[in-house]
């Protein structure tokens, strides 16, 4: 979810679901240790609970970044062992790490030593054409026993490191939910969450009968209103977090105004994350056109909001 689940996206999602655990986009250790830390780690208090997802393979560097996660107020720190992009492969982390379970265990142990936050691992069920259940079972067993990790988020596809783009890696390797279910059976004391291909609330409920949690990524991004009932359905809330889409949009307009006043953030940088809010409703296409029309970027967000909700052609 790099370049997707930034702080503005997470604020938007938090308006729709108040109890779901949100994850940052993956941040590399190099970006934190040698770059602009506030740019990568600053977030709104409304985003809690929120986890910082890290990319890296050096235990000492990951430990330093785990300490930063605690200092900046995150609720969890997650090590990404599932991303298959070429950039990640060049850095020898992401899905490559599944072939080095001992190293991942060292990384997790170093992170746990450095912070009081929960340290979790997100990974795939296999690498390339290796489809042996023993591979992912032994990976989890090693990282749990030697690293002390207790929570694993399992993307139920292999990561093909050669021949497929990151997009194709989310679609072509087959989903094998049964392997994730088997992991939960073999490691009953661990928290096992399932990721990959989940789109509907009924699917979430079905998977929660076999595992401890479900992670939803791109579907939540493209159809954010699908999250509106999650707090009530799965997380013990007495009612939905968001009352109406209109209320969410109004809150986002106020947020854009605050970000513009405090940091000079252009509203299109924020509005791009909410373009799926009205999906499936009359006038949604025109609404998206208005909020994504960069000819209007000089206008205040409230004027764009008024134009969008007239469902008329944008004017300059």
Exposed, middle or buried by CB within 10 Å (0-12, 13-18, 19+), for 210? middle
Inter-residue long-range contacts of 129-132, CB under 8 Å, 24+ positions, other chains counted = 129/158, 129/160, 130/158, 131/158, 131/176
User: 9, 81, 83, 149: which is the annotated catalytic residue?
Assistant: 83
Q: Residue 295 carries which DSSP code? A: G
Q: Where are the alpha helices (DSSP H) in 153-244?
A: 166-169, 177-186, 201-208, 218-222, 230-234
* CA–CA separation, 117 and 51 (whole Å): 10
Residue 281 sits at φ, ψ, to 5 deg, of -115, 155
How many whole angstroms separate alpha carbon 146 and alpha carbon 67? 21
Is 96 among the residues known to form the active site?
Answer: no
Tell the burial category of 68 from Cβ atoms under 10 Å away from its Cβ (0-12, 13-18, 19+): buried
**Measured at the alpha carbon of residue 89, what is the angle toward residues 213 and 78, in degrees to the nearest 5?**
30
Distance (Å, rounded) from C-alpha 226 to C-alpha 240?
Answer: 11
- Computed on alpha carbons and rounded to an integer, the radius of gyration of the chain in Å comes to 20
Active site residues: 83
């Amino acid at each position: 979810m790099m370049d997707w689940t930034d702080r503005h996206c997470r604020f938007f999602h938090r308006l729709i679901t108040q109890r779901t655990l949100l994850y940052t986009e993956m941040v590399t250790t190099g970006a934190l240790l040698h770059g602009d830390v506030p740019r990568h780690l600053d977030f709104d208090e409304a985003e809690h609970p929120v986890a910082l997802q890290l990319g890296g393979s050096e235990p000492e560097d990951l430990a330093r970044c785990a300490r930063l996660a605690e200092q900046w107020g995150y609720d969890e720190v997650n090590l990404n062992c599932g991303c298959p992009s070429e950039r990640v492969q060049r850095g020898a982390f992401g899905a490559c790490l599944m072939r080095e379970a001992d190293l991942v265990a060292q990384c997790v142990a170093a992170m746990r030593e450095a912070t009081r936050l929960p340290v979790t691992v997100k990974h795939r069920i296999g690498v390339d054409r290796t489809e042996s259940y023993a591979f992912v079972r032994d990976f989890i067993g090693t990282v749990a026993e030697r690293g002390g990790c207790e929570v694993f988020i399992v993307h139920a596809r292999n990561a093909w490191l050669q021949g497929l783009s990151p997009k194709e890696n989310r679609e072509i390797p087959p989903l094998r939910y049964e392997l994730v279910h088997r992991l939960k059976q073999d490691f009953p004391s661990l928290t096992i969450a399932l990721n990959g291909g989940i789109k509907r609330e009924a699917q979430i409920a079905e998977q929660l009968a076999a595992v401890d949690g479900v992670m939803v990524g791109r579907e939540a991004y493209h159809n954010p209103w699908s999250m509106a009932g999650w707090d009530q359905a799965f997380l013990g809330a007495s009612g939905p977090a968001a009352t109406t889409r209109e209320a969410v949009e109004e809150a986002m307009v106020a947020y854009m105004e605050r970000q513009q006043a405090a940091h000079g953030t252009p509203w299109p940088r924020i509005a791009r994350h909410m373009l799926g809010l009205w999906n499936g409703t009359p006038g949604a296409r025109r609404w998206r056109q208005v909020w994504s029309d960069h000819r209007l970027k000089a206008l205040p967000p409230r004027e764009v909001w008024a134009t969008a909700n007239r469902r008329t052609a944008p004017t300059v």
